[in-house]
Amino acid sequence: MTRQQMIDLVNKYFAGVDGRDISIIKEALTPDCIFSVETHSVKLQGHNQIESMFKRLWDNHDTLKHHKFVYVPCPDEDRIAVRFEIDNILLDGQKVHKSNCNFFEVDGDKFNRVAVYMTGQNTLKNE
């Protein structure tokens, strides 16, 4: 996968997250993808567990916005790191701002591993 293809896949993934479209997210992840929130000891594997996590996220937020991406693609090692900001609005109207980093590993044309490093409260709970 080229540098640009990796960046495009990251953008597709976050379009699915912000757009609340699990089918787009699944298109970006292998069926057995390992998804972890390293800063909060969360580890999930496979589309079903990842989908449940995103449904909980969406159920607890009015809006989600991931933006100001800084990409560090490494096509020779099938990896891309991404730093970004998040502006979310909770159901009660409270605004939440975060700065996160995600590390993606590529298998073919999809991500097979996503490691999240998150500031603040864990919004990607596994329960």
Domain boundaries, the chain: 3-117
Give the DSSP letter of residue 94: -
The pTM score is: 0.92
3-117 CATH fold: Nuclear Transport Factor 2; Chain: A, (3.10.450)
CA distance 86 to 121: 13
**Which of 103, 113, 17 has the alpha carbon at shortest distance from 66?**
17
CA distance 96 to 61: 10
CA distance 76 to 73: 9
pLDDT of residue 122: 58
Percent of the chain clearing pLDDT 70 (strictly above): 94
Tokens for 95, please give them. Answer: 């605004």
